[in-house]
Structure 1
Amino acid sequence: MRDLRESLFDQDRMLLVPGRMLLEDGSVVGMGALVENGRFTDVATVADLSARHPDLMAIEMPNYLMMPGFIDSHTHLTQSLGKSLVFGEPSEIFRRIWVPLEGSLDQRMVYLSSKLSALESLRGGFTCAVDAGTRSAGHLDALTTAARETGMRSVIGLICNDLGGAADVPPPNTIIARAEAHLAKYVEDPLVHPSLAISIPEVASDGMLTRVSHMASEAGVIFQTHVNEHLVAVERSLVATGRRPLEHLAHVDALGPHVLIAHSTLVTPAELNMLRDTGTAVAYNPVASVWKGNAIAPALQMAALGIRFGLGTDGTRADGFRLMDAAETLQRAGFGLASGDSSCGGGWLWLDAATRMAADVSGLGAVTGRIAKGFAADFLLVDLNRPEFTPSHDLTWELVRYGNRDQIDGVFTNGKLRLWQGWPVDWDARALLAEIRETTEAAVAAAPITRVHPTADLHRARTLA
């Protein structure tokens, strides 16, 4: 038998027969999938597939789980060059670190940062990521080029702030013209999907919030914004408008099924009802809550109320398995322990929230997130011949609690093998890393970043002194 990687590389038509396949109701044996021209064109039992496609030699992978790729419903592709600068910092880091850093990046640095982020995402099993919009000035093409070159499916937000919060804040008519062009540019793109974004409600006028949200709805794409993430943001909105951020979005008619709210950690019962009644979706970012947040989004309560949500990294760490673990762990620590809930989602909720539910909130529910006929062939091959999965009694729970990115051998998007055992198959990732190591220090040093704490080693030295 040919080497498995060779059998999977650069094939337009493949009949795949894994040991197990993750479908909507759980993992099953005896199933296979036909991949043609970037899509699943037939998903059935191995016997039925062999009968329907006798001309094809099946690629048998008995030790692998074939599962949908993870979808990061909220990230920042142009923050990877400074990702560890925020460790140990107080919560509202976007004003002191991210806006200054992103605003200072030139086109090449935006490209490098985005490509590094996309590489990290693919290594972590994310076949799709939703970028909330770069705050750099005029370099969006560099971001989309980098993501496309890696093969990662991406939803790219265009920042439409008209009151600040970005390096470039043009007049309102220019913002609208740019938004229209952005929506039109990627209509036929197989991997890039457009989106409109406003960083936080406080950096846009009421008219801009309403108009941009409605533009996204009419175009059939998502509108993104960060809401109710930190105490200071809630207070700032109360002072400016007399309403909390989520309440204000409802007041200006900017909520709806096309809206993806990042965080929603500080939500009142009335605001949960707003999310439910408007169909607005939430990106639940558990690692961000641990690293820099003020609260945990009540994801279990959202699930019980029928509020749509998916998992997101917020640019923290790109490992889909560890993200699911964090999602369940925070619900258990924040809510389950006090109520005696020993299940906290039963494992399956977090697997769904990282795949098909995340696809839904990202505006791609009919495109990706499932292994099903007609869907894009965005999937992972997870090696089950590992100690963590031996013996296996409940694979769904095992994926949530024992899974890790080093167990992922194959990462596919649009039917093409992109990574094998953590490294790209058709471009030089090590050359990218070398260039980033050579150039990042100067780029970060030039940005007007303000940190509250020094690095860990310097902090330790000062503490001991």
Structure 2
Amino acid sequence: MPSQHAAKPVVDQIISARWVIPVRPRVLLHHHALAIKQGRIVAIGPRDEIHAAYTAADNTTLDQHVLMPGFVNAHTHAAMTLMRGLADDLPLMTWLNEHIWPVEGRFVSPEFVSMGTELAIAEMLRGGTTTFNDMYFFPEAAAQSAQNMGMRAHIGHVIIDFPTAYAANADACLQAAADLLPCLQQMPLIRQSLAPHAPYTVADAGLRGTRELAEAEQLPVHMHVHETAHEVEESLAQHGRRPLARLAELGLLNPRFLAVHMTQLDADDLTICRDSGLHIAHCPESNLKLGSGIAPVARIREQGIGVAIGTDGAASNNDLDMLGELRTAALLAKGFSGDPTAFPAWEVLEAATLGGAEAIGWGDLTGSLEPGKTADCIAISLDHPATFPVYDPVSQVAYCAGRDQVTHVWVNGQIRIRRGQAVDWEEQALFSRAQAWVKRIRDKDQNT
């Protein structure tokens, strides 16, 4: 820090809190503050020292709050928020084949994606998510919605064999991705990946094309893998090998590969995961609701495999609540393994923040509160009946806090939620615009 005799540097803002959880390093800081300039964290230190060292135009003091990195939702289909509650209590393939895919075939368009993504962003920001990793059609519409609403997003270009409103086949999807990549690179809050839907919806040719484009552009790959027992059985019958082994043979697996769900893993699968360096996006609530299975997180983590946490889409979860998701992930790991020390509070918080950022290649930028990183941070009030008394703030966040306790959210140093209220958009207007889509979907659904 500068000496007390030098003119104090001017920063854009200083945020002070009763507790700061930087995630990395794994320490709990008391009465600390962040100095932020041009969207980046300049310094972290004791509150009095930061105020003595810097002058800020904007000072925020949070006396009963935890200040921590924003959540990174490692797997979403944001636009599917428009289908929340449309088809519940069904197995995955029935849900997809008889309900979701038919509705998508009738209604999905850039306008649908924009509207659904805006709804998702409003929900995610209110719940403390500052970055989401998306997989859906018309990715340019999702990217524009995120950029407009000030949300950091990792946008996946969907690749799928069968015809959709977006593209005729996997080759057309890959061409659309190649064409769009330069356009989306101009958006400062957006990064991109290739998102082949699943091993059972993309043939070998499309997967090879994915690998080639990913290697040429140095892009991550984001894919549903080993989501259900049926998927694995079908792969054995059709290809003579489990899906992960097939993907490995095709050269897709590496540290830039994000495997979503992974509920069906044997010892050989875990070895493939470990040796390839891939990351896993754990979506416990969606998997539970669809009856797909439970990812063996304790065994995954024993192998040193990176774990992130995602909500999946609101059409299957049915919310985008990362606080709820990380709590479910922690408790499920303990219950499934029979080990109460599995996935403890510190580690599940890391999975929901820095683990997600590293899984999508953004660990250099977000996921922890460190000098030089972007100021993607949230404040959670512990002055609440659900989190009182406070012996351990980390445990309170992991096991007690609800998303209604998220009071402030900053993305890239810009305030998006202040005192629990949205900044720069009006929620009732958002709902009114969405309602027109709801009516169209409901009326068409009733007539089929």
Match in the other structure for 2:5: none
Segments of structure 2 that go 5 or more residues without pairing to the other structure are 1-9
2:98 counterpart of 1:96 = yes
Q: Shift of residue 333 of structure 1?
A: 2.2
Matched, 1:17 2:19: no
2:42 is aligned to: 41
Task: Tell me how far 1:214 sits from its aligned partner.
Answer: 4.0
Letter in 2 for 1:91: L
Structure 2 partner of 1:329: 331
* Correspondence for 1:381 among 379, 387, 404: 379
Matched, 1:141 2:128: no
Residue pair 1:127, 1:379 contacting (<8 A) in 2 also:
yes
1:57, 1:423 → 2: CA distance?
18
Please state if 1:279 is matched with 2:280: no
Aligned to 1:413: 411
Structure 2 counterpart of 1:108, one-letter code: E
Amino acid in structure 1 at the alignment position of 2:353:
T
User: Partners of 1:373 and 1:302 in 2: how far apart?
Assistant: 31
Name the structure 2 match of 1:257: 255
Correspondence 1:122 to 2:125: yes
* Matched-pair contact (CA < 8 Å) for 2:128–2:378: yes
Change in Cα spacing, 1:220 to 1:375, as seen in structure 2 (3 Å) is farther
1:432 and 2:434 matched? no
Task: Give structure 1 stretches of 5+ with no counterpart.
Answer: 1-10, 451-465
Alignment map for 1:57-76 (pairs within 5 Å): 58-76=59-77
Query: 1:152 matched to which residue of 2?
Result: 151
RMSD: 2.2
Are 1:213 and 1:259, in contact at CA under 8 Å, matched by a contact in 2? no
Amino acid in the other structure paired with 2:320: A
| 1:165-213 superposed Cα distances (whole Å, 9 cap, x missing partner) | 6434446654433222333223342211111111112222313213313
Aligned partners of 2:139 and 2:214: how far apart in 1?
18
Amino acid aligned to 2:67: M
Rounded to whole Å, the distance in 2 between the matches of 1:101 and 1:36 is: 45
SS at match of 1:403: coil
Equivalent position of 1:112 in the other structure: 115
CA distance in 1, matches of 2:328, 2:87: 19
Residues 131, 172 of structure 1: alpha-carbon distance in 2 compared, 3 angstrom cutoff: closer
Q: Distance in 1 between matches of 2:92 and 2:229?
A: 9
Higher deviation after alignment, 440-449 or 235-244: 440-449
CA distance in 1, matches of 2:221, 2:159: 10
Q: Which shifted more, 264-273 or 24-33?
A: 24-33
Deviation at 1:293, TM superposition (A): 3.1
Compute the displacement of 1:375 (Å).
1.1
- The letter of the residue matching 1:281 is H
Provide the secondary structure at the position in 2 that maps to 1:13. strand
Deviation, structure 1 residue 421: 4.1
Query: What whole-Å deviation, never above 9, does each CA across 1:141-183 have from its counterpart, x for those lacking one?
Result: 322222222221111111122x216434446654433222333
Change (3 A) 1:356 1:144: same
Whole-angstrom distance in 2 between the partners of 1:58 and 1:120 = 26
Q: Which moved more, 1:353-362 or 1:419-428?
A: 419-428
User: Given residue 64 of structure 1, which amino acid in structure 2 is its aligned partner?
Assistant: H
Q: Which moved more, 1:70-79 or 1:175-184?
A: 175-184
Q: Is contact 2:131-2:152 (8 Å) kept? A: yes
Map 1:235-250 to 2 at 5 A. 235-250=233-248
**Hey, what's the Cα distance between the residues in 1 that align with 2:169 and 2:58?**
59
Give the stretch that moved more between structures: 240-249 or 45-54.
Answer: 45-54
1:108–1:142 Cα contact (<8 Å) kept: yes
Provide the C-alpha distance between the structure 2 equivalents of 1:301 and 1:344, rounded to a whole number of angstroms: 9
Aligned residues: 431
How far 1:310 moved relative to its partner?
0.2
Aligned equivalent of 1:354? 352
Question: Partner residue of 1:79?
Answer: 80
Secondary structure (helix, strand or coil) at the match of 1:208 reads: helix
Asked whether the 8 Å contact 2:108–2:165 carries over to 1, the reply is: no
1:212 aligns with 2:210: yes
Q: Normalised by the size of structure 2, how large is the TM-score?
A: 0.90
SS of 1:254's partner is: coil
Q: Secondary structure at the match of 1:371?
A: coil
Change beyond 3 A, Cα 1:184–1:63: same
Aligned position for 1:319: 321
* Equivalent-residue separation in structure 1 for 2:28 and 2:193 (angstroms): 33
Q: Aligned with 2:372: secondary structure? A: coil
Calculate the TM-score normalised by the size of structure 1.
0.87
CA distance in 1, matches of 2:447, 2:265: 30
For the pair 1:131 / 2:130, whether they are aligned, the reply is no
* Rounded Cα–Cα distance in structure 2 between residues aligned with 1:166 and 1:425: 35
Q: Deviations over 1:48-81 (max 9, x none)?
A: 4234325667533222211100111001012111
For 1:276, the aligned partner's letter is R
Q: In 1, distance between residues paired with 2:419 and 2:91? A: 36
**1:55, 1:117 → 2: CA distance?**
33
- Mark the CA change 1:252 to 1:347 in structure 2 (over 3 Å): closer, same or farther: same
Between the aligned partners of 1:78 and 1:449, the Cα distance in structure 2 is 23
Contact 1:101 1:448 in 2 (8 A): no
3-state SS of 1:18 partner: strand
Contact 1:68 1:379 (C-alpha < 8 Å) held by counterparts: yes
Q: Could you tell me how far 1:373 is from its partner in structure 2?
A: 1.0
Contact 1:144 1:192 survives alignment (8 Å)? yes
Q: Is the 8 A contact 1:105 1:443 kept in 2?
A: no
Report the counterpart of residue 4 of structure 2 in structure 1.
none
